């Protein structure tokens, strides 16, 4: 597995804009450490970035303790403004507090920042054995509509319905992103995942948009795979897939399935792409309140997400160096956290990574 | 893996009714051989049943070549009447012919026969190696509503929607079936799979119904698992699950995923349960037109589905003998069809099974 194959150069609109500012100015990026183990794994990222001399200045924002009426959630308007202003951010796990009258933090972020594509690279970590070798695929999930419309109602007692909405605009946008990603990352194939044999109009429109975009990328092989069959193929032979693009719920399901193939959400990065070149990288695992504050958490998912943020900023050298150090540390095996079968603390593991830099 | 654990005794309403007819009368059962490889694998079932002296008389029905206006599909009304009359049937793969103005054959069957629960046992076949050992779970899928409502429309150009419908009646019915199944099959745990964190009303109602039923079965452990997490857990450690019950689309996805864990749809049985004790067992794999008529098809999925039909008829001894013979033949490994890495023909494999009876 070549690391550069996982993250070859790619020019993002944001970093083109940045070319006009001075190259030595530090870059401001928003950091949401999140809840539970969030602050510890965020600390790990900060240490690794310092050790690698990444020219980033963090602007930290915490989840509030009161509902902000402008976001209808515990996320404050100021924290969203910070991401909008900086264009990039990194987010730890956020446990949506239970209660009435507010929106989920994840959904608020996606909605307010118009984070239309969720990109999750999923590859076997060298030296970390699972049932699968050589997994190397990317799931690209439409992140704004579909089954997540929030439109539900009770028709009569005992009969409820929810609306799945698919639009041409959002489908074209995510399809464009997927093909562009494939092309600029040396990928060969895009598979659109759907259930258009049942949802002919909604998933049918999604496929139609993918086909339209596919025509503009004759060098990329395009195929369509029904979601049930896709899941069977993924568990039998994930090497059949390269880049997968799909509506919201299928992306939610398949990205977790794929993470499971290589060890789980604690090891896989995620990055959300929004209009205007915004990128919000995030660890998608939970906040693990049971081990919070105990220096036991594995920061890998957040670190690799931070790496994807660096690529987005065109800081490819830094990104590659950090990724190499993370993968080497895991591969060596003597500094693994408990979730990977080791007995290292978060700080030990982080130090081992820094030593590899 | 004890086979009787997979299929312990269970009394179905249908077989209670049959107790009033003479024990020596042959039982009539409908057979849809289906398309492609269907006739060959159906022939295999007939041979094995003859060899095991199963007292069944088949009533064969083929998919028609014209749309029957009463079913709006290529399935004739007479063929549906046959299943209704007999109460049991076995179905091979049916390739829905492409064209306008008719319903899918599978959906027609589910709708017309009110097949509300799709039951798919999924277990590792002794001696047939996959990445997973000791898988032994059952997926029970609501089969009549949810995302399969067929209600879709275009709101304005470029914006389409589809309706997911969840009813209390169908949710209770499938939950009842799942818990009853668990109890009568010596299973310990039922997991309801959902996405109620997003679809609070629809999946929320499904969960509410499962909880209501769970209260009546205090001896069965009940848990709720979000579908994305479920898929990750399934690929990491399928032994965490026992009986899974879920709305239609999740069942479609997860049952295929689970089949993939043990080798694919060519090896896993399926049975649809309808109101009034109707059972339509089926092979859910495709019709494989490329190898049709070449004596290469693997009849295992249809044979194991036929076994589940026998259990439904309370012919447990016959069912167990046949299942043992199938599993032994696969375990020995010298009579495997090409899909399992062997070079046997359908007839060789079938003969080997008959020799084990
Ligand atoms: C927490 C939940 C709302 C979220 C989702 O369903 O999108 C999560 O599963 C994810 O994938 O980010
Ligand atoms: C062929 C298709 C309509 C069907 C479904 O989606 O239910 C199939 O995938 C199944 O699981 O039986």
Q: List, for residues B67-123, the tens digit of each pLDDT value.
A: 888 888 888 999 999 999 999 999 999 887 666 567 788 888 999 999 999 999 999
Does residue A284 have its Cβ closer than 6 Å to ligand 1?
Answer: yes
Residue B197 CA: nearest ligand 1 atom is 3
**For B205-218, what is the mean pLDDT?**
98
Does residue A200 have its Cβ closer than 6 Å to ligand 2?
Answer: no
pLDDT at A72: 86
**CB-hemisphere CA count at 13 Å for B128?**
28
How many Å is the maximal CA-CA distance in chain A?
63
- Check CB contact under 8 Å for B231 and A147: no
**For A8-32, what is the mean pLDDT?**
63
Is the pLDDT at A48 greater than 70, yes or no? yes
Scanning A171-200 for CB atoms below 8 A from B yields 195, 197-200
> Residue B149's closest CA among B249, B70, B284, B77?
B249
Q: Which long-range contacts (CB under 8 A, 24 or more apart) does B195-198 make?
A: B195/A147, B195/A249, B195/A252, B195/B226, B195/B227, B195/B228, B195/B250, B196/B224, B196/B226, B197/A104, B197/B226, B198/A147, B198/A148, B198/A249
Range in A18-22, A87-91, B67-71, B256-260 the model is least confident about: A18-22
What does the angle CA B7 – CA B11 – CA B17 come to, to the nearest 5 degrees?
140
Q: How far is B318 from chain A (nearest CA, A)?
A: 31
Is the pLDDT at A95 greater than 90, yes or no? no
**Structural element, H or E, at residue A123:** strand A115-123
Residues 6 or more apart from A20 whose CB is under 8 A from it?
A: none
Instruction: Name the residue of A252, A271, A286 whose CB sits within 8 Å of the most ligand 1 atoms, as the mutation to test its pocket.
Output: A252
**Structural element, H or E, at residue B30:** strand B27-32
pLDDT at A97: 67
Write out pLDDT tens, residues B11-68. 454 544 454 455 568 999 999 999 999 999 999 999 999 999 999 999 999 987 788 8
Residues of A in contact with B152 (CB under 8 A): 199-202
* pTM over 0.75, yes/no: yes
- In whole angstroms, give the CA distance from residue B273 to residue A239: 36
Q: How far is CA B150 from CA A200, A201, A256, B107, in A?
A: 9, 10, 28, 10
Residues of B in contact with A227 (CB under 8 A): 252-253
Is the pLDDT at A1 greater than 90, yes or no? no
pLDDT at A98: 65
Does residue A198 have its Cβ closer than 6 Å to ligand 2?
Answer: yes
pLDDT more than 90, % of chain A: 83
Scanning B7-66 for CB atoms below 8 A from A yields none
In B168-310, where do the E strands start and end? 189-194, 221-226, 243-246, 271-274, 279-282
Residues of B in contact with A103 (CB under 8 A): none
**Nearest residue CA, atom 7 of ligand 2?**
B252
pLDDT at A292: 96
Residue B110 CA: nearest ligand 2 atom is 7
Is the pLDDT at B242 greater than 70, yes or no? yes
Residue B226 CA: nearest ligand 1 atom is 9
**For B323-348, what is the mean pLDDT?**
96
Q: How far is B184 from chain A (nearest CA, A)?
A: 28
- Check CB contact under 8 Å for A162 and B164: yes
Pair A65, A99: CB distance under 8 Å: no
Scanning A222-281 for CB atoms below 8 A from B yields 227-229, 231-236, 249, 252-257, 259-261, 263-265
**For A96-107, what is the mean pLDDT?**
74
Is the pLDDT at A302 greater than 80, yes or no? yes
Substitution target in A124, A142, A202 with the highest count of B β-carbons within 10 Å is A202
Write out pLDDT tens, residues A51-60. 999 999 999 9
Higher-confidence position of A20 and B194: B194
- In whole angstroms, give the CA distance from residue A182 to residue B13: 55
pLDDT at B104: 83
Distance B252 CA to ligand 2 centre (A): 7
Q: How far is B354 from chain A (nearest CA, A)?
A: 30
> Residue B41's closest CA among B301, B353, B259, B281?
B301
What does the angle CA B24 – CA B25 – CA B29 come to, to the nearest 5 degrees?
125
Residue located via tokens 């004759």: A218
- Check CB contact under 8 Å for A260 and B236: yes
Is the pLDDT at B7 greater than 50, yes or no? no
Read off the pLDDT band of B160 (50, 70, 90).
very high
- Check CB contact under 8 Å for B168 and A148: no
Across chain A, mean pLDDT equals: 92
Write out pLDDT tens, residues B135-145. 999 999 999 99
Write out pLDDT tens, residues A324-340. 999 999 999 999 999 99
């Amino acid at each position: 597995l070549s690391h550069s194959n996982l993250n070859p150069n790619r020019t993002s609109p944001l970093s083109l804009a940045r070319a006009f500012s001075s190259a030595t100015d530090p870059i401001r990026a928003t950091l949401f450490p999140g809840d539970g183990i969030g602050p510890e794994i965020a600390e790990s990222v900060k240490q690794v970035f310092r050790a690698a001399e990444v020219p980033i200045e963090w602007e930290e924002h915490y989840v509030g303790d009161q509902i902000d009426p402008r976001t209808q959630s515990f996320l404050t308007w100021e924290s969203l403004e910070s991401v909008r202003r900086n264009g990039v951010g990194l987010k730890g796990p956020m446990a949506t507090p239970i209660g009435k009258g507010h929106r989920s933090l994840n959904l608020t972020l996606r909605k307010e920042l118009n984070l239309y594509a969720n990109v999750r690279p999923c590859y076997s970590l060298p030296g970390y054995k699972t049932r699968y070798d050589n997994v190397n695929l990317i799931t690209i999930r439409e992140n704004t509509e579909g089954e997540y419309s929030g439109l539900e109602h009770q028709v009569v007692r005992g009969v409820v319905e929810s609306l799945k909405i698919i639009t041409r605009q959002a489908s074209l946008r995510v399809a464009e992103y997927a093909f562009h990603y494939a092309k600029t990352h040396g990928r060969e194939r895009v598979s659109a995942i759907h259930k258009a044999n049942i949802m002919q109009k909604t998933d049918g429109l999604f496929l139609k948009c993918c086909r339209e975009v596919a025509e503009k990328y004759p060098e990329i092989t395009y195929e369509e795979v029904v979601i049930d069959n896709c899941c069977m193929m993924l568990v039998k032979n994930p090497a059949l897939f390269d880049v997968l693009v799909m509506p919201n719920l299928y992306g939610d399901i398949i990205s977790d399935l794929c993470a499971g193939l290589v060890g789980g959400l604690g090891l896989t990065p995620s990055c959300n792409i929004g209009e205007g070149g915004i990128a919000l990288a995030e660890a998608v695992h939970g906040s693990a309140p049971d081990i919070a504050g105990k220096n036991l958490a594995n920061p890998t998912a957040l670190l690799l997400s931070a790496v994807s943020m660096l690529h987005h900023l065109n800081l490819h050298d830094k990104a590659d160096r950090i990724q190499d150090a993370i993968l080497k540390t895991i591969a060596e095996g003597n500094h693994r956290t408990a979730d990977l079968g080791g007995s290292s603390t978060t700080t030990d593991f982080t130090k081992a990574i820094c030593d590899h830099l």
